[in-house]
Amino acid sequence: MAAVEKLVTQHLDLLATAIKRKSAAGRGSSSKVELYGIKKLRELILELAIRGLLVRQDPKDEPASESLKKITAEKAKLVREGKIKQGKALPQVGAAWQQDLPDGWIWTCLAALGEVSPRNDVGDDINASFIPMPLISTRFDGRHDHEPRKWGDIRKGYTHFADGDIAIAKITPCFENSKAAIFSGLHNGVGAGTTELHVLRPYGDFVSRGFLLLYLKSPQFLRVGETKMTGSAGQKRLPTDFFSFNPLALPPLSEQHRIVAKVDELMALGDQLEQQTDTSVSAHQTLVATLLNALTSAADHAQFARSWQRIAEHFHTLFTTEESIDQLKQTILQLAVMGKLVSQDPNDEPSSELLKRIASEKAGLISLGKLKKDRALAVITKGEKKLDIPSGWEYVRLQAIAAIGTGATPARDDSSYYSPAEFSWVTSGETSLPFVSETREKISAKAIAETNVTIYPPGTLIVAMYGQGKTRGQITELLIPAGTNQACAAIQLIDQTPAHRAYIKVFFQKAYEDIRSLAEGGAQPNLNAGKIAETVLPLPPLAEQHRIVAKVEELMALCDNLKGRLADAQTTQLHLADALAEQALVED
């Protein structure tokens, strides 16, 4: 046991700092990460507790076999008095139960210690407590909330329980998340609630309810229980027989109390570590955001240089998380469209000249009937000019430099629109990658002829106008001729210079959140081609666009490389946390 304590304390820093990125969460919050090492520490505490490795055994303790005799006698008394039924015969101790136990411990099961699925017998007019699943926590102390109800209103159709009863959720994912409770403080000592609970009412006070809660929350019980669940996906439930008869290693009652006290002490330490780590993560994010914001808000070159120097001096301590690297990438995009990422060259042809050439070429395409005439452009207001742009730059609406189109979805019930599969066809969900070189679906020539699908050439930029999750506002580029569905806007730039196209992509990537915010609608807000066309963007001289794009690509590659090394380091740290927990369980 001393070896276990030494192992854990020596590596406490590793457990406190092993962090795992969550699959999905809000931007810029420490809730995007899971404190994986602390989670493993808590699981380890529970495993050690139920294996008799957390506190020392005392030969003076009355053995658990004596407690079990008292429990058996109490059950017999309740049966004689007609207060409970005899219940199923308890399983014999088989080979699966013949694992070594510490001195004074004994194998048993929950059904031997109390009544499973008890019922309350009280008057309908008394006040009672109602507890739906959301009021049962995943905490290790079994806390819960409750609502007042008349017993007659909740007596039928709900699970019964009383003060002192122990319960665990039986349905996925609540079971896997270890939603469990020791009921206490109920109105008149009784309650009812969600039917998705297994409940145990211990016979007398010969067993620690806190210890039984630790058993129900132990990784071993949850891991084995998950394999025994029955039912369809999303509706799997833990069988009553598993809850009732799964082997339980019971310590002497005095040791149970010592175990619970030690777990409380160590879980409090875990809470402190979690708070410290969470505070550290939040403070780190705030520091990164503040320093990067100083770059984008710098009033002049000297202030910008000072702000960058502060970041450069601490670069390797600032950008140590995926979130901080993502913030850096967004800052790079912001600086790019502000004219602060590369130096201006007074010899560059101003962007006003580029706009004149684009206007002339677009007019020629309209006169040839290759483009439709646009409606008159609205004057760009002062409020739309959100940035102070350098000399030689111009603000412009996207419509002035591009043709904006969209697409359609051929009728799904007409198979001839999809077979033969002749033309690539992009949906909004395919805008998450920088380029489209292949599409999940293709459509036929008949679909092109009979619907509003247009085949756009390579180099067309595609913006998602609506879709699930983060889809709306994403931009990609066609590497192949392809049509789109109606959830996409197709941007065909008049000037086909690759650097010009790449700069427009950079702008849309930077303006992702701003563009998303323009969407309208209820449950699924949408953009439309008109809003995309009216987008106002700062346009640098063409020569500067080349320099900006080259610098963005260089810096983004560095960020991706940094993120890759970080991911490798984090994976190693998670594996070390797992190995440490496993080693502690066999150390004793």
Which residue did the predictor score with more confidence, 150 or 271? 150
Residue 307: inside a domain, yes or no? no
Residue 306: inside a domain, yes or no? no
414-418: average pLDDT: 96
Question: Each residue of 115-137: pLDDT tens digit?
Answer: 999 999 999 999 999 999 999 99
Give the type of residue at 394. E
pLDDT of residue 98: 61
What is the rounded CA–CA span in Å between residue 550 and residue 335? 14
Residue 106, classed as helix, strand or coil, is strand
Which residue did the predictor score with more confidence, 140 or 12? 140
Q: Which residues of 221-246 are buried (b: 16+ CB within 10 A; e: fewer)?
A: bbeebeeebeeeeeebbbbeebbbbb
The domain boundary residue, chosen from 251, 269, 288: 251
The domain boundary residue, chosen from 540, 559, 578: 540
Question: Does residue 7 register a pLDDT over 60?
Answer: no
Indicate the range of 124-133, 375-384, 530-539 predicted with least confidence: 375-384
Residue 550: inside a domain, yes or no? no
Confidence of residue 6 (pLDDT cuts 50, 70, 90): low
Q: CA dihedral in degrees (562, 564, 570, 574; nearest 10)?
A: 180
Confidence of residue 33 (pLDDT cuts 50, 70, 90): low
Residue 18: inside a domain, yes or no? no
Question: Each residue of 140-162: pLDDT tens digit?
Answer: 888 999 999 999 999 999 999 99
Residue 403: inside a domain, yes or no? yes
| Orientation of helix 498-510 relative to helix 322-338, angle to 10° | 120
433-438: average pLDDT: 95
Question: Each residue of 46-62: pLDDT tens digit?
Answer: 888 998 988 899 999 99
Confidence of residue 575 (pLDDT cuts 50, 70, 90): low
pLDDT of residue 522: 72
Confidence of residue 321 (pLDDT cuts 50, 70, 90): confident
The answer to whether 181 and 141 have CB atoms below 8 angstroms apart is no
274-282: average pLDDT: 81
88-99: average pLDDT: 66
Residue 311: inside a domain, yes or no? no
pLDDT of residue 112: 94
Residue 168: inside a domain, yes or no? yes
Same domain, 219 and 72: yes
- pTM more than 0.85: no
Residue 366: inside a domain, yes or no? no
The distance of Cα 19 from the centroid of its chain, to the nearest Å, equals 13
259-278: average pLDDT: 87
Same domain, 393 and 529: yes
Same domain, 80 and 221: yes
253-272: average pLDDT: 91
| Distances 93 to 87, 98, 109, 216, 248 between C-alpha atoms, Å | 18, 8, 10, 20, 11
Residue with tokens 């939040």: 282
* Domain with 411 in it: 373-540
Half-sphere exposure of 435 toward its Cβ, with a 13 Å CA cutoff? 8
Residue 410: CATH number of its domain: 3.90.220.20
Same domain, 246 and 383: no
The domain boundary residue, chosen from 503, 524, 540: 540
Question: Each residue of 282-311: pLDDT tens digit?
Answer: 888 888 889 888 888 887 778 888 888 888
Question: Does residue 381 register a pLDDT over 70?
Answer: yes
The β-bridge partners of 248 are 108
Q: How many CB atoms lie within 10 A of CB 73?
A: 13
454-480: average pLDDT: 93
266-274: average pLDDT: 84
336-349: average pLDDT: 93
Per the structure, the count of domains in the chain is: 2
